[in-house]
Amino acid sequence: MGHLLLVESWVGAMSTLLPRSIREGGHRFSFVTRDLQHYLRAKPMAGPHPLLSADNLFTVETNDVQHLLRHLESLQAVLGFDGVLTSCDYYLAAAARAAQRLGLPGAPPEAIERACSKDLTRKALREAGVPGPAFALAETARGLEEAAEALGYPLVVKPVDLCAGMFVRKVDGPAQLREAHAALQGFPVNARGQQRNPVVLLEELLTGPEVSVETVTFRGETTVVGVTDKSVAGEPWFVETGHMFPAALDADTEKAVAETAVAAIEALGLDNVVGHTEIKITPAGPRVVEVNPRPAGNQITELIRRVTGIDLAAVYAQLALGEKPDLHRVDTGAGSAAISFLLPPREGTITEIGGLDALAADPAVVDWVVKEAGHRTGAAISNNNYLGHVMVTSGSRGEARRHADSLVAGLDVRYAAEAGE
């Protein structure tokens, strides 16, 4: 039985899925955080809090990597960790550094840092000839305007160090570009208290369907687990509205996107990682959107598990322990699985979400969650503002998405009346 050290976590689904998979694999874990209240304030699901299954809870300043490493060395002498991991993008590099310092299995820290910084990713992929959008980098408003003029509108503006689609938006001209830059300047510190990188990424707007390629790389060999279909809405924002696994692609297209993802992983030098590579299928062929050196979020790992039996959260733990990952597929009876997200129609305070009886009565629904009355919702501008989700399975390939979307479309979000309405 291995003892894993979990350095921070997201507070969404993976905060429950990863501890569950660690325990089901016969392992145990300890948890280190800079702010335990961050997790207690945002309990992710019904039932016991996932942190209650930790052997130990430690409070350490995880944003000071050198301090963290020294502290973990002292803990290692007493507790004997066998691996280090995190489910939070903002601590992937720190976890890799910790594994290296403690002499434990893990991914190359420099490769993780390249993958977690969108500017470094773009440079590495361009040098390796992996197809992606035309891009430019700048810090100042003037620099961005000059770069935008050279690239040509419309463009996509991206912070190089944020997640969940935060502040990623399409811009059609200088006025929108200045607005996007001003918004980023007003967000100098991320949600975990880390100072942000002021560099801004400008990219050519890619058109076409979006998919993600789920991979496992172990000792230099990458296995493609499958391709996930993704839907994005909310222009000028890019909000993920749902996913289906496996994607309904023809064999040639699936092969092309898989090969592109593997090439990106190799270009970044990633090894001993679960990968989630987002790709646009453009008229000119697959183009890499981003490479994430961790399991997919938004419950994509659950879709994969329900179709193939492969638990990528468990695989992630196996890699952290240096174990050969279990990628054995089983017949689950599901030909496809999909999740559809309920986006807020507008800002306001929710009084009720109607239509839930249909979810409870539908045998194809395997999971659903909605926000409770009294929740104050923001605008649908990133993946952080969902009001809930519905997950379904189907015996047929390619059918689950349509069913999930129809169920979410039947939900009725009702708001409290506010002054002036």
pLDDT on residue 10: 87
Contact (Cβ atoms closer than 8 angstroms) between residue 339 and residue 346:
no
Q: How far apart are CA 344 and CA 380, in angstroms?
A: 6
What are the pLDDT digits (tens) for 139-174? 999 999 999 999 999 999 999 999 989 999 999 999
- The answer, yes or no, to whether residue 64 has pLDDT greater than 80, is yes
CA 327 to chain centre: 21
Domain 334-421, CATH class in plain words: alpha beta
Decide if pLDDT at 369 tops 60: yes
Q: What is the CATH number of domain 207-332?
A: 3.30.470.20
Q: Is the pLDDT of residue 19 over 60?
A: yes
Q: Read off the pLDDT of each residue in 50-59 and give the average, rounded to a whole number.
A: 91
Q: What is the pLDDT of residue 46?
A: 66
Segments making up each domain of the chain, as ranges: 3-104, 133-204, 207-332, 334-421
Tell me the whole-structure pTM to 2 decimals: 0.95
At 412, the pLDDT band (50, 70, 90 cuts) reads very high
pLDDT at residue 419, rounded to an integer: 56
Q: Which of 328, 404, 415, 312 is nearest to 13 (CA)?
A: 312
**246: preceding bond cis by omega (within 30 degrees):** yes
What does the alpha-carbon distance between residue 386 and residue 405 come to, in Å, rounded to a whole number?
Answer: 14
Contact 92, 66 (CB under 8 A): no
- The pLDDT tens digits for 92-141 are 999 999 999 999 999 999 999 999 999 999 999 999 999 999 999 999 99
Q: Give residue 418's pLDDT band: very low, low, confident or very high (50, 70, 90).
A: confident
Q: Averaged over 267-285, what is the pLDDT?
A: 98
At 327-365, the pLDDT tens digits run 999 999 999 999 999 999 999 999 999 999 999 999 999
**pLDDT of residue 75 exceeding 60:** yes
Span 133-204: which CATH code? 3.30.1490.20
* Local confidence band at 45 (pLDDT 50, 70, 90 cut-offs): low
Tokens of 44: 């992710």
pLDDT bucket at 392, cuts 50 / 70 / 90:
very high
The letter for the amino acid at 396 is S
Tokens of 131: 């197809």
Average pLDDT over all residues of the chain? 95
How far is Cα 288 from Cα 258, in angstroms, rounded to an integer? 11
HEC-encoded secondary structure of the chain = CCEEEEECCCCCCHHHHHHHHHHHCCCEEEEEECCHHHHHCCCCCCCCCHHHHCCCEEECCCCCHHHHHHHHHHHHHHHCCCEEECCCHHHHHHHHHHHHHCCCCCCCHHHHHHHHCHHHHHHHHHHHCCCCCCEEEECCHHHHHHHHHHHCCCEEEEECCCCCCCCCEEECCHHHHHHHHHHHHCCCECCCCCECCCCEEEEECCCCCEEEEEEEEECCEEEEEEEEEEEEECCCECEEEEEEECCCCCHHHHHHHHHHHHHHHHHHCCCCEEEEEEEEEECCEEEEEEEECCCCCCCHHHHHHHHHCCCHHHHHHHHHCCCCCCCCCCCCCCCEEEEEEECCCCCEEEEEEECHHHHHHCCCEEEEEECCCCCEECCCCCHHHCCEEEEEEECCCCCHHHHHHHHHHCCEEEECCCCCC
Are 7 and 95 a contacting pair, CB within 8 Å?
A: yes
Q: Does residue 421 register a pLDDT over 60?
A: no
pLDDT at 263: 98
Span 200-230, pLDDT tens digits: 999 999 999 999 999 999 999 999 999 999 9
Q: Which CATH entry fits the domain spanning 3-104: 3.40.50.20, 3.40.50.1820, 3.40.50.300, 3.90.76.10?
A: 3.40.50.20
Burial class (CB in 10 A: 0-12, 13-18, 19+), 330: exposed
Check residue 16 and give its pLDDT.
Answer: 87
With bands split at pLDDT 50, 70 and 90, how would you rate the model's confidence at 41? confident
β 155-159/135-138 pair status: unpaired
What mean pLDDT do residues 315-337 have? 97
Distances (CA, A) of 342 to 104, 174, 228, 413: 41, 32, 19, 9
